[in-house]
Amino acid sequence: MEHYPSRLLEEAVNELSRLPGIGRRGALRLALHLLKQESADVERFGNSIIRLRTQINYCSCCHNISETEICNICSNPRRDASQICVVQDIRDVMAVENTSQYNGLYHVLGGIISPMDGIGPGQIKIESLVEKVNTGKISEVIMALSATMEGDTTVFYISKKLRDSGVKISILARGVAIGGELEYADEVTLGRSIINRVPYENALVK
Amino acid sequence: MEHYPSRLLEEAVNELSRLPGIGRRGALRLALHLLKQESADVERFGNSIIRLRTQINYCSCCHNISETEICNICSNPRRDASQICVVQDIRDVMAVENTSQYNGLYHVLGGIISPMDGIGPGQIKIESLVEKVNTGKISEVIMALSATMEGDTTVFYISKKLRDSGVKISILARGVAIGGELEYADEVTLGRSIINRVPYENALVK
């Protein structure tokens, strides 16, 4: 039993400790930090979080976060609308965008098939991807999901669903990280990167 | 430059990343987590944080958080009002209370003297402690501050301020942690615990 000197503090700690990766001790530390900030700053903090959840919109096309009905990427005529990069969530869109190596569109699944977490194919946005591909306007679907069992399961499920459409399906290259020391690469990755070795001239970054 | 798909998201990430120990990557993870929660839950979360900062009160006697003008500890007639335990912040009051080994009152400094962080004696609640002690009603001041350079500096400063009052000043015992393996104790602590060794019969927990 912890002795909280105030119900307000206890409530704030309860709320903060529900965030992922934050335990009760960390939540108390955050609450005491917030108590030391200016009132106006804390109000801005709390309100920005409430606004985030209550006012945000999603692109009706790719399910990415958007300020408009159709997001900036989907509505950009200079992007290649024949390519769709399938990602787990919004963070992955940002990660791929930051590489500046991709100029097609996205499709945000909003999750990944994970029986352990009780997430099945019906809970993520697979149907709308299949519909988009079935319009016949898509030439390639790039599966940019995590190289985990859940990611692989999701790729397998989606590729089966898309098989009849005849669309080209590709996945991200897997191998040793660029700049990484070989001795720190795990065995599975290293083994795969030997099996999937590429001719030297293809591997040079252009 | 990160590509945020929405200004609302960027603002929330900015706010979250100002929390101690949370970087921009962690802030984005928290923001995306909050987006997946129920609207009502996120509103409760945000409002509890705002309420914490705007509605909380401090005990006018010990500066601990309180729901009332004088906190539950200061106003409790069964507590020994002749002892004051001086702590850095509210968390430490909770930690000492959780031991159930102390029945006196507290004094929350609200910080610790730290030239590195630009915190001098004037920015923490030392004056009101000196005033309390100068009433002559206090028999012992227990300095329960961290065993760090900042803590020791603060103890030194306060003990000088209280010297004329003739009050008894004590500090927490320092030594190897109970239940800790000796081989993991650091050399300074171990050395001090040898110098300050106590007769066996005094060391038994009663």
Q: What CATH number is given to the structural domain containing B21?
A: 1.10.8.420
Please name the residues between 80 and 99 in chain B that touch chain A, using a CB distance below 8 Å: 89-91, 93-94, 97-98
Is B60 a member of any domain?
Answer: no
Whether the CB of B7 is below 8 Å from some CB of chain A: the reply is yes
Distance from CA of A164 to the nearest CA of B (A): 33
**Are A44 and B15 a contacting pair at CB < 8 A?**
yes
Whether the CB of A163 is below 8 Å from some CB of chain B: the reply is no
Whether the CB of B121 is below 8 Å from some CB of chain A: the reply is no
**Phi then psi for A165, rounded to 5 degrees?**
-70, -20
Q: Structurally, how many domains does chain B consist of?
A: 2
Claim to verify: residue A48 and residue A90 sit in the same structural domain:
no
Is a pLDDT exceeding 70 seen at residue A46?
yes
Is A22 a member of any domain?
Answer: yes
C-alpha to C-alpha distance for A21 and B53, rounded to whole angstroms: 23
Distance from CA of B13 to the nearest CA of A (A): 9
Nearest to A65 among B5, B37, B66 (CB): B5
Pull the structure tokens for residue B186.
């650091």
**Are B8 and A67 a contacting pair at CB < 8 A?**
yes
Is A94 a member of any domain?
Answer: yes
| Interval B80-136: pLDDT, tens | 999 999 999 888 898 888 888 889 999 999 999 998 889 999 999 999 999 999 999
Nearest to B5 among A6, A44, A66 (CB): A66
CB B58 within 8 A of CB B66: yes
Q: What CATH number is given to the structural domain containing A164?
A: 3.40.1360.10
| Interval A154-191: pLDDT, tens | 999 999 999 999 899 988 888 877 777 777 778 888 87
* DSSP category for residue A177: P
Claim to verify: residue A87 and residue A137 sit in the same structural domain:
yes
CB B169 within 8 A of CB B162: yes
Claim to verify: residue B165 and residue B83 sit in the same structural domain:
yes
Position of tokens 């065993």?
A: B147
CB B22 within 8 A of CB A26: no
CB B72 within 8 A of CB B60: no
Whether the CB of B64 is below 8 Å from some CB of chain A: the reply is yes
Is A47 a member of any domain?
Answer: yes
Claim to verify: residue B142 and residue B91 sit in the same structural domain:
yes
| Interval B12-48: pLDDT, tens | 999 999 999 999 999 999 999 999 899 999 999 999 9
Claim to verify: residue B103 and residue B45 sit in the same structural domain:
no
B71 to chain A: closest CA residue = A5
Range of the domain at A99: 75-172
